[in-house]
């Protein structure tokens, strides 16, 4: 049985449709990157999974429990770090975690042990007695994480956990996410590609309330990038190079990527990605008497896929 | 539910509002009773000159009209503004547990305020023969009245999610409930509505209860009003989840 099952989820805010038929399943132990530009519907999806909002239509189950009918059972199994990390500012870190544990029905030595464990994991020891309103953004984020991990939930949902952190803090938080992701199901919402690539084995890309890609992080770029791109660098004339490349069957319009003196770099792809594409390009360059400096295939990155699938102009058209 | 109440209580005690409430409440009652007299009537302990505490407890509703809404106004709006409601409502708690927890915290503070007034009946008891029966009756009536006001304030906070609005609206509603049934007010409303106005009035029932006439119907009325507003509160919170 999948850990999370989402089927044809729709959510309307008044007349605005924020989610428009979102479906996916997530198995136990998967680490999913839920990726999308701002306003795509990531937070809305997470609010539905955690029972904070009801969907307008569609179904979502967590560990077999329906999010609307069996909300409390669902919430018991989830550790959630909401966007913007709301915390009870007037409490100290230790009081806060204690209260969170009590609200989850934890008590006594188990609560004390778990509190110690999450404080250790998130390196909050030095700040345990500090009032939360005195903490920096990075520490607040860790408190939010500690709160989400306190009850050893089966599922951990983190909504934009590294927004507003400096690079060192980002590395720290990612390390924590990787650590907890070893034996739990994790959903990481983010609009930061490198983060998802660094932490998640699987990616879903959502745009305008619809899922536009879903697959292994490693495969996704290959699947959606189309024909591979070649970077061709030559000494000589730009016009001659362009003309020569355009002669090739299936060649795309060459794009100038770099220029320095008489040294040009051009990007071109060959439709159908024939095995001898590189050899054909080399021959074309030689045939017009240009000196080939470098020729390398440029593998499409997740960023290319993301930009291709979520460009706003495509949807406006 | 107890944990919620506890959390709210410690956040009350971390903010000035709890102390303002306690001081203002005891100050209002004792001040009016011993020094400047009841609003609109000028009666004091000395002018009444007997050892019944009727006048003293008749001060409770007017004090509560201002002070209980002030106490109740932050319970929901704080949470809705800072977004911590998203934490609370994604924890494995039922909505009614959260609502009742918040209510209990407020009620505990009101009870504490009433405890602080105990020295007055004690003092009076020293001067004369005090019948403690009506005094306890009045305390129970006060707590029930406070609970009813609190539930209205809690509901308004959830509805408006804005402290100041919640305070004003709550105080106005509470005042209305207190004034209804008053002979003066009855002059301004159609005769046909007098019966309704008298039936809904908090004051008459409060006075009966306060004289130690513990009428089940009156106690039931206060509990019902409280129950209805707590229920409405749950509905408002649930409806925020949308469909
Ligand atoms: N409470 C709300 N009322 C109206 N519109 C909303 C509300 N919450 C979110 N939206 C809109 O729904 C869309 C999706 O929002 P959200 O799920 O927060 O996106 P993301 O988390 O991917 O940035 C956005 O266009 C946003 O403006
Ligand atoms: Mg978001």
Task: Report which DSSP code applies to A14.
Answer: T
What residues make up the domain containing B176? 2-242
Least Cα distance to A124 among A110, A109, A138, A107 occurs for: A138
When pLDDT is cut at 50, 70 and 90, the band that residue A317 belongs to is very low
Least Cα distance to B146 among B202, B187, B216, B199 occurs for: B202
A90·B14 Cβ contact <8 A: yes
Averaged pLDDT for residues B154-172? 94
Q: Please count the other Cβ atoms lying within 10 Å of the Cβ belonging to residue A116.
A: 13
What are A140's two structure tokens?
Answer: 């607040």
Report the pocket of ligand 1 as residue ranges, CB < 6 Å: A 13, 16, 18, 36, 38-44
When pLDDT is cut at 50, 70 and 90, the band that residue A270 belongs to is confident
Contact residues on chain B for A88, CB-CB shorter than 8 A: 7, 11, 84
What are B152's two structure tokens?
Answer: 């209205």
Angstrom distance (rounded) from CA A63 to CA A78: 10
User: Beta A291-298 vs A263-269: how paired, if at all?
Assistant: unpaired
List, in sequence order, every residue forming a beta bridge with A206; answer none if it has no partner: A211
Annotated domain spans of chain A? 4-221, 229-298
A41, A45, A52, A209: residue to mutate for ligand 1 pocket, most atoms within 8 A of CB:
A41
pLDDT at B44 over 70: no
Class of domain A229-298 as given by CATH: alpha beta
The per-residue pLDDT for range A207-263, each reduced to its tens digit, is: 999 999 999 988 887 776 666 788 888 888 888 888 888 888 888 888 888 888 888
Angstrom distance (rounded) from CA A25 to CA A60: 10
Of residues A113 and A269, more confidently modeled = A113
Interface predicted TM-score (ipTM) over 0.95 = no
Angstrom distance (rounded) from CA B48 to CA B41: 11
B49 contacts chain A (CB < 8 A)? no
User: Beta A78-81 vs A155-159: how paired, if at all?
Assistant: parallel
Angstrom distance (rounded) from CA B139 to CA B133: 10
Q: Are A233 and A293 in contact (CB under 8 A)?
A: yes
Of the ranges A172-181, B10-19, B91-100, the best mean pLDDT one = B91-100
Give the nearest ligand 1 atom to A19 CA.
Answer: 14
Give the nearest ligand 1 atom to A160 CA.
Answer: 21
* pLDDT at residue B198 in the model: 75
In A270-316, where do the E strands start and end?
Answer: 291-298
* pLDDT at residue A217 in the model: 86
A152 contacts chain B (CB < 8 A)? no
pTM of the model: 0.87
Best A63, A79, A88 residue to mutate vs chain B (most B CBs within 10 Å): A88
Between the CA of A43 and the centroid of ligand 2 the distance, in Å, is: 4
A72·B15 Cβ contact <8 A: no
When pLDDT is cut at 50, 70 and 90, the band that residue B37 belongs to is low
User: Of the candidates B10, B90, B241, which has its C-beta nearest A75's C-beta?
Assistant: B90
Class of domain A4-221 as given by CATH: alpha beta
DSSP A41-107: SHHHHHHHHTTSS--SEEEEEETTEETTTTHHHHHHHEEEE-TT----TTSBHHHHHHHHHHHTT--
Angstrom distance (rounded) from CA B97 to CA B74: 18
Q: Please count the other Cβ atoms lying within 10 Å of the Cβ belonging to residue A286.
A: 12
Helix (H) or strand (E) holding A185: strand A185-190
* pLDDT at residue A316 in the model: 41
* pLDDT at residue A315 in the model: 45
Angstrom distance (rounded) from CA A24 to CA A176: 26
Indicate which residue's Cα is closest to atom 25 of ligand 1: A39
* pLDDT at residue A209 in the model: 95
The per-residue pLDDT for range B70-129, each reduced to its tens digit, is: 999 999 999 999 999 999 999 999 999 999 999 999 999 999 999 999 988 888 888 777
Dihedral angle sign, alpha carbons of residues A69, A73, A77, A82: positive
List, in sequence order, every residue forming a beta bridge with A34; answer none if it has no partner: A189, A204
In chain B, the number of structural domains is 1
Indicate which residue's Cα is closest to atom 16 of ligand 1: A41
**Residue B206 C-beta-side C-alpha neighbours within 13 Å:** 29
- Residue A70: closest C-alpha in chain B: B92
Averaged pLDDT for residues A59-63? 96
Contact residues on chain A for B87, CB-CB shorter than 8 A: 80, 82, 86-87, 100, 147
B87·A90 Cβ contact <8 A: no
């Amino acid at each position: 049985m999948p850990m999370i099952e989402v089927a044809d989820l729709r959510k309307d805010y008044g007349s605005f449709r924020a989610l428009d038929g979102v479906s996916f399943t997530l198995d136990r132990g998967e680490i999913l990157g839920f990726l999308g530009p701002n306003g795509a519907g990531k937070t809305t999806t997470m609010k539905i999974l955690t029972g904070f909002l009801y969907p307008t239509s569609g179904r979502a189950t967590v560990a077999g429990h329906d999010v609307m009918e069996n909300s409390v059972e669902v919430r018991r199994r989830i550790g959630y770090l909401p966007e913007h990390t709301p915390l009870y500012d007037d409490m100290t870190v230790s009081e806060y975690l204690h209260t969170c544990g009590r609200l989850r029905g934890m008590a006594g030595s188990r609560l004390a042990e778990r509190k110690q464990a999450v404080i250790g994991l998130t390196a909050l020891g030095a700040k345990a007695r500090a009032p939360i309103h005195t903490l920096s953004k990075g520490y607040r984020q860790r408190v939010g994480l500690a709160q989400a991990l306190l009850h050893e939930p089966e599922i951990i949902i983190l909504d934009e956990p590294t927004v507003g952190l400096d690079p060192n803090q980002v590395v720290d938080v990612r390390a924590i996410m990787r650590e907890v992701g070893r034996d739990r199901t994790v959903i990481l919402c983010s609009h930061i590609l490198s983060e998802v690539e660094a932490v998640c084995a699987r990616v879903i890309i959502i745009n305008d309330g619809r899922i536009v890609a879903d697959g292994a992080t490693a495969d996704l770029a290959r699947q959606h990038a189309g024909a591979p791109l070649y970077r061709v660098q030559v000494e000589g004339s730009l016009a001659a190079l362009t003309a020569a490349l355009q002669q090739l069957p299936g060649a795309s319009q060459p794009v100038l990527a770099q220029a320095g003196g008489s040294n040009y770099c051009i990007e071109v792809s060959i439709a159908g990605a024939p095995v001898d594409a590189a050899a054909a390009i080399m021959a074309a360059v030689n045939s017009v008497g240009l000196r080939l400096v470098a020729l390398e295939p440029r593998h499409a990155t997740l960023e290319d896929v993301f930009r291709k699938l979520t460009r706003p102009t495509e949807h406006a058209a | 539910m107890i944990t919620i109440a506890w959390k709210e209580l410690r956040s009350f005690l971390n903010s000035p509002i709890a102390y303002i409430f306690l001081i203002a409440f005891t100050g209002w009652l004792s001040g009016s009773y011993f020094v400047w007299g009841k609003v609109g009537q000028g009666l004091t302990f000395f002018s009444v000159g007997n050892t019944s505490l009727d006048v003293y407890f008749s001060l409770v509703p007017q004090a509560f009209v201002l002070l209980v809404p002030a106490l109740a106004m932050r319970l929901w709006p704080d949470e809705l503004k800072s977004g911590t409601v998203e934490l609370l409502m994604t924890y494995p708690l039922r909505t009614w547990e959260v609502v009742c927890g918040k209510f209990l915290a407020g009620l505990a503070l009101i009870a504490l305020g009433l405890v602080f007034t105990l020295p007055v009946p004690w003092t009076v008891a020293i001067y004369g023969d005090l019948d403690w029966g009506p005094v306890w009756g009045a305390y129970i009536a006060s707590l029930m009245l406070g609970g009813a006001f609190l539930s209205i304030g809690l509901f308004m906070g959830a509805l408006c999610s804005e402290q100041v609005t919640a305070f004003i609206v709550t105080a106005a509603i509470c005042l209305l409930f207190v004034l209804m049934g008053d002979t003066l007010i009855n002059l301004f409303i159609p005769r046909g509505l007098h019966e309704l106005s008298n039936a809904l009035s908090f004051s008459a029932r409060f006075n009966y209860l306060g004289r130690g006439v513990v009428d089940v119907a009156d106690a039931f009325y206060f509990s019902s009003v409280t129950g209805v507003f707590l229920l409405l509160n749950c509905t408002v919170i649930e409806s925020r989840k949308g469909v």
